[in-house]
Structure 1
Amino acid sequence: MISLILKSFRHRWVTSMVCLLSIALSTGLFLGIQQIRNSARESFTDAVSKADLLVGARGGSLPLLLYSIFHLGQPINNISYSTFEDIEKHPAISWAIPYSLGDSYHGHRVVGTSNALFEHYHFRGDNKISLKAGNYFSRPDEVVIGSVVAKKQKLKVGDPIILTHGVSSEGIFQHDQTPFKISGILNSTATPLDKALFITLQGMELLHEGWESGVPPEEQTQLSEEEMNRLRPNQITSFLIGLKSRMMVLRFKGMIDQYKNEPLTATIPALGLQELWNTVGYVESALSLISLCVLAVGLMGIFIALYSSLQERRREMALFRAVGAGTFHIFLMLIGEAFFLVFMGLIFGLALNYLALYLINTWFIDEFSLFLSLKAPGTSEFIFIGSTLISGVLAGTIPAIKAYRQSLQDGLTVQL
């Protein structure tokens, strides 16, 4: 039976390959979408861990999360640094990481922060930030850069760089009178940290020294290291909080939301991410629907190929029956052809999926800060594979039934 099926494929190899490739491409597309979607969820969720609250100016939780952690969009407003200092002193807080945004370097965000970022920021569970080369900043005019920034801009420790005001790739203008020196390069994290540059809060003030009127001064005053260290920020964008007890999260969130000195918003990062998934859920559904439509076209191709070939194969079927093959054997042979096409299409589709994900993984990390985890097929994938096999068998059932009903005389009679 198997040898007959293989010979049938060799005889009709063009049609068979078209059907097989259609199944393989649709399988690879569907499974690829599922794995990219799951990896995106994991990457976004794992971008920050062990953080209880993110605090910023009054506004939406999702925009606050996007511009603070994922460096997407622009801050709506800033908060006073005195507010950060006041809340940071609360006895329930274990640590706090400030963020000051608004500048960039060739489209990469510059983040004003403190050494608390390197000490307390966790991602993907227990992983912490580490250095690939150099040291963390120790002066206001030093900068630590992410791995993608170093790779794309071909930078190394000790290089001077000029930062740009504004967050667009072009920027508004360059801070060419305040050069920074690269003190360290971070190891790759497959998070938005890779595409950012980090300076001290004093460094952020240094960039905007003399901007009291809202525009840069005509002549920039060069400050000594002692004067730079005395700079004090007036505002920051947001800050991340780790509490001593997670049982305090909701209570502390309510306290911040009702903070009297200025209007604030506190969000739990995991809940903000859930809002993001609810927002983009229709995109995921649309992509899955497209891949299912491609699969349906592939299965329809199998049905059409088998059904349209019956007229040509009448004599072939009749000869099989003349040499002793029963009608049920012919039925099974056509079912077997459909099953084999779908089975091989699924195998090639799985191989194509994992090969493609492996090849684009580095590009995804560099471009989107998303780590594609190459996991074995899960429950939903096995359900898809099983359903596709059953659908393939059903696609071959109608042609098989028609072949079953053909008479020996019909196959041997010359059709005029």
Structure 2
Amino acid sequence: MFEIALRSLRSRRLTVVLTIATIALATLMLLGVDRVRNETRTSFANTVSGTDLIVGARTGSIQLLLYSVFRVGNATNNIDWHSYQKLAADPRVAWTIPVSLGDSHHGYPVLGTNHDYFRYLRYGDNQPLKMQSGHEFSHLHDVVLGANIARRLHYQLGQKLVLTHGSGDGALTEHADQPFTVTGILAPTGTPVDDTLHISLDGLTAIHQGWESGSASLLATTGALSADEDRAVPPPDSITAFYVGLKSRTGLFGVQRAINQFRGEPLMAILPGVALSELWQLLKVAEQALQVLSWFVLLVGLLGMMTALLVGLNERRREMAILRSVGARPWQLFALVVGETACLLVGGIAIGCALLQGALAVAGPLLRDHMTLLITPGWPTASEWLLMGCTLLAGLVVSFVPAWRAYRLSLSDGLHVAA
């Protein structure tokens, strides 16, 4: 019977090819949406790792997360430097990473920090930042680039660049009097770090000397401030936010409560994991919409397969009658149609899975460059195996309709022949 099924499929090559292509494309979309959804969720969850608290001006937890981690939006207020020092001196605190934002370069954010950023910041599965080439900043006008910036703007070690006062593409005034030198390029992380320029807090303070009024003064435009590369620079007046790592997580909520009740100024401390979950919930509607769309595509593919099988039954009626005349039973013809459908489903699912791997190999670098998503080809995940199994099961259920039709036709044709 299996050999008969294969010969029957070969005799209907065009219909078989179109049916397999439909199933393959439906499988590609179903698995692709699931892969992108899971990898995006993982990317969100792994953006910052090993950080117990993020502290900023009192605002919403999602807003604080967006501007301090994803560099999206702006802080409602800054944190006074003395407040930061007082909170960082808490005996329960193991380390802190100050973060100061506000300037940009070709639309990319500039982040002022210190060496603790490279020492303590973690992402993914508690992975540290690594240098792809060069070293950390050591002078006022040194800059360390994220991997995407170096690749897109074709920057190399030793190259000079000028920062822009203000954030976003709308920032027009440049700190042309104090150019920075690229001393390091970070390895790719798949996080907003890849799209960030990193300078020292002293460097950020230095380029804003003479900008107290909000625009460049005569002192800031003469170039005199950049003459002494290692001149003494006072500490910053304020920072945007800071990350906190604790000596023991048992004191997590106590430290959070102390920061939220800090009397020096209105501050708030958030748990990154909780805030990331809240942010993902906002995006869940789009995730669910994509899932529904992919299931509809699969449904259309299965209905198209069923239609092709039903239409083909009339053409195969003579074939069925011949099989009946040589002793085939109705249930065997039922099994024949189901078996042919299983072959089509397995072929379509396998091709769809292969197409997904090829698409990820091609689109992976584009997603990494433009959306900071690290999605690479790989063996199907448990959820993808489940989806492929559901697709196969749903296709077999759909095949019962034309199989039952073939069963009934064989009965009626058999009675007609007997009469």
- Give the shorter-chain TM-score range: over 0.9
Give distance in 2, aligned partners of 1:295 and 1:212.
Answer: 61
Pair 1:267 & 2:270 matched? yes
In structure 1, the partner of 2:324 is 321
Give distance in 1, aligned partners of 2:192 and 2:151.
Answer: 14
Letter in 2 for 1:279: L
Q: Which moved more, 1:236-245 or 1:19-28?
A: 19-28
In structure 1, the partner of 2:228 is 225
Checking the alignment, whether the CA contact within 8 Å between 1:339 and 1:389 is kept in structure 2 is yes
Identical positions, percent: 39
Q: Within 5 A, what are the aligned runs for 1:205-216?
A: 205-216=205-216
Checking the alignment, whether the CA contact within 8 Å between 2:345 and 2:395 is kept in structure 1 is yes
Give distance in 2, aligned partners of 1:237 and 1:395.
Answer: 58
Checking the alignment, whether the CA contact within 8 Å between 1:26 and 1:298 is kept in structure 2 is yes
Q: How many residues align?
A: 414
Checking the alignment, whether the CA contact within 8 Å between 1:315 and 1:412 is kept in structure 2 is no
Q: Which moved more, 1:241-250 or 1:133-142?
A: 133-142
Pair 1:90 & 2:93 matched? no
Cα distance change of structure 1 residues 380 and 409 upon mapping to structure 2, 3 Å threshold: closer
Cα distance change of structure 1 residues 76 and 10 upon mapping to structure 2, 3 Å threshold: farther
Checking the alignment, whether the CA contact within 8 Å between 2:205 and 2:233 is kept in structure 1 is no
TM-score scaled by length of structure 1: 0.94
Consecutive unaligned residues of structure 2, counting only runs of 5 or more, are: none
Q: Could you say what secondary structure the match of 1:174 adopts?
A: coil
Consecutive unaligned residues of structure 1, counting only runs of 5 or more, are: none
- CA drift at 1:98: 0.6
In structure 2, the partner of 1:34 is 34
- CA drift at 1:307: 1.1
Q: Could you say what secondary structure the match of 1:229 adopts?
A: coil
Give distance in 2, aligned partners of 1:228 and 1:337.
Answer: 80
| Aligned with 1:250 (options 220, 242, 253) | 253
In structure 1, the partner of 2:343 is 340
In structure 2, the partner of 1:400 is 403
- CA drift at 1:26: 1.6
In structure 2, the partner of 1:109 is 109
Cα distance change of structure 1 residues 381 and 226 upon mapping to structure 2, 3 Å threshold: closer
Cα distance change of structure 1 residues 300 and 41 upon mapping to structure 2, 3 Å threshold: same
TM-score scaled by length of structure 2: 0.93
Letter in 2 for 1:146: G
Give distance in 2, aligned partners of 1:259 and 1:87.
Answer: 9
Q: Which moved more, 1:127-136 or 1:333-342?
A: 127-136
Pair 1:185 & 2:185 matched? yes
In structure 2, the partner of 1:158 is 158
Give distance in 2, aligned partners of 1:324 and 1:39.
Answer: 54
Pair 1:308 & 2:273 matched? no
In structure 2, the partner of 1:371 is 374
- CA drift at 1:263: 0.5
Give distance in 2, aligned partners of 1:396 and 1:383.
Answer: 20
| Aligned with 1:298 (options 280, 301, 304) | 301
Pair 1:48 & 2:48 matched? yes
Q: Could you say what secondary structure the match of 2:264 adopts?
A: coil
Checking the alignment, whether the CA contact within 8 Å between 1:330 and 1:403 is kept in structure 2 is yes
Checking the alignment, whether the CA contact within 8 Å between 1:139 and 1:225 is kept in structure 2 is no
In structure 2, the partner of 1:198 is 198
- CA drift at 1:227: 7.1
Give distance in 2, aligned partners of 1:364 and 1:322.
Answer: 59
In structure 2, the partner of 1:59 is 59
